[in-house]
């Protein structure tokens, strides 16, 4: 969330940034934040003054009693009691104001970078470039949902029987190529300097608030009511929360982690060809990369992370393009985000496979994640994350783009993991 001090010092910029996001009544919201903060500060001062007066009167009681000034001692005792109660009441009001302020700050999204294009939907995202050669398929080419049925490698009906729609079974070579992709992505992340972690797939409420899934995306997560836990929508959440409430040292930075988890999303969207087959699921696997960076290093890290993911697509020989997300399509936490999309030849469309986001200190403020530099100054860190990669649409593109009369050819980089060259 935004720092109140940042809002106060950059009021006009914040309002313009919220307008860029098409946020409702930005001036009213920003003014309300500043009013609440001013009232909180004044109430806190009044509380401290009342407590100081109570302490002062309490110290006088003993001296007055010893000097025989009983009436004055009783008056001091009454004054101490009155001010003590006043301080208690004001302390409760401070807590109320802090709660109101926190709730309001949770509703305010991050401020987009200046070069983020203005737009309302994904149609307004800016295509930065395309790379790779789109394959030319035979006339009888099939979309991946027909291919997986033909080769019996993914079973949606069985998943529907056991769990429900959007929870497929991967079978035989389908399961093996899933495992191959995960191993490939993790090995590449390790080679790039990321520490592999295997995080839990359930999080508590504090973790959801820490990375911004709560309260914004509560309806999109699966909730385990008996234990007050949530199934993760992405490994970003538990991995970033490893550092919640931490004070890191400058010499220990940056922190670079990678982890594979299943991911769970309740909202799978409307039905149709654009979400058919593997295009959108309730459960899917993903390798996530996360970085904790000093503010001055986060911009370079964001570009490097994006190139890392692009390199994965290049090694898989998948045509892709990079998009700069517009203000209206930008996630609540991010101030800058690139999407990477692969070309799905049989569907004749681009499929999003990765989002690489820079959150600035927005997420770190929620997490209370700070570092102490070598001059002993304490500051908020910057957090970044990216999909490296999400499996379903990558698999869909591999199946469609590599179909031949002999079967589906496996990208060379994966063959050492699959131990087979073709699905036939």
**265 appears as a binding residue in the annotation:** yes
**38 appears as a binding residue in the annotation:** no
d(CA 360, CA 110): 9
Q: Which residues contact 349 (CB under 8 A, 6 or more apart)?
A: 274
DSSP state, 352? E
**352 appears as a binding residue in the annotation:** yes
**267 appears as a binding residue in the annotation:** yes
Which tokens is 321 given? 């393009």
Which spans in 67-219 are helix H? 70-107, 144-150, 156-162, 173-191, 205-211
Closest CA to 405 of 141, 177, 145, 150: 141
Q: Please state whether the peptide bond connecting residue 290 to the residue before it is cis, i.e. omega within 30 degrees of 0.
A: no
**79 appears as a binding residue in the annotation:** no
**95 appears as a binding residue in the annotation:** no
Which tokens is 84 given? 């003590």
**288 appears as a binding residue in the annotation:** yes
d(CA 113, CA 325): 11
d(CA 292, CA 385): 9
d(CA 274, CA 265): 17
**353 appears as a binding residue in the annotation:** yes
Binding positions for ATP are 265-267, 352-355
Binding positions for L-serine are 234, 265, 288, 385
Binding positions are 234, 265-267, 288, 352-355, 385
């Amino acid at each position: 969330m935004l720092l109140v001090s940042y809002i106060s010092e950059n009021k006009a910029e914040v309002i313009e940034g919220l307008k860029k996001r098409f946020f409702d009544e930005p001036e009213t919201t920003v003014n309300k934040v500043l009013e609440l903060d001013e009232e909180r500060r004044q109430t806190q001062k009044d509380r401290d003054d009342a407590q100081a007066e109570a302490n002062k009167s309490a110290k006088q009681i003993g001296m007055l009693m010893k000097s025989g000034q009983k009436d004055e001692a009783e008056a001091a005792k009454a004054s101490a009691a009155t001010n003590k109660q006043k301080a208690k009441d004001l302390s409760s009001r401070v807590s109320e104001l802090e709660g109101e302020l926190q709730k309001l700050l949770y509703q305010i999204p991050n401020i987009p970078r200046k070069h983020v294009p203005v737009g309302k939907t994904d149609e307004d995202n800016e295509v930065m470039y395309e790379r790779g050669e789109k394959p030319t398929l035979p006339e009888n080419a099939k979309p991946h949902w027909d291919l997986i049925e033909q080769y019996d490698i993914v079973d949606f009906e069985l998943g529907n029987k056991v769990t429900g729609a959007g929870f497929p079974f991967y079978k035989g070579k389908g399961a093996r190529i899933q495992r191959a992709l995960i191993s490939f992505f993790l090995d590449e992340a390790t080679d790039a300097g990321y520490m592999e972690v295997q995080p839990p797939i359930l999080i508590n409420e504090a973790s959801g608030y820490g990375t911004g899934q709560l309260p914004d995306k509560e309806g999109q997560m699966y909730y385990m009511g008996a234990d007050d836990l949530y199934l993760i929508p992405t490994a970003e959440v538990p991995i970033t929360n490893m550092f919640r409430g931490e004070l890191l040292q400058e010499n220990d930075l940056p922190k670079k982690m990678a982890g594979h988890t299943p991911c769970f999303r309740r909202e799978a969207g409307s039905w149709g060809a654009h979400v058919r087959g593997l295009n959108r699921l309730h459960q899917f696997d993903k390798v996530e990369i996360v970085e904790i960076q000093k503010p001055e290093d986060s911009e370079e890290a964001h570009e490097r992370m994006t190139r890392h993911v692009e390199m994965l697509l290049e090694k898989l020989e998948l045509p892709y393009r990079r998009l700069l997300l517009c203000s209206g399509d930008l996630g609540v936490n991010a101030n800058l985000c690139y999407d990477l999309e692969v070309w799905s030849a049989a569907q004749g469309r681009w499929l999003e496979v990765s989002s690489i986001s820079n959150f600035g200190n927005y997420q770190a403020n929620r997490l209370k994640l700070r570092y102490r530099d070598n001059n002993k100054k304490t500051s908020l860190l910057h957090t970044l994350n990216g999909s490296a990669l999400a499996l379903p649409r990558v698999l869909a593109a591999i199946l469609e783009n590599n179909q031949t009369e002999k079967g589906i050819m496996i990208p060379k980089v994966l063959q050492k993991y699959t131990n087979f060259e073709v699905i036939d």
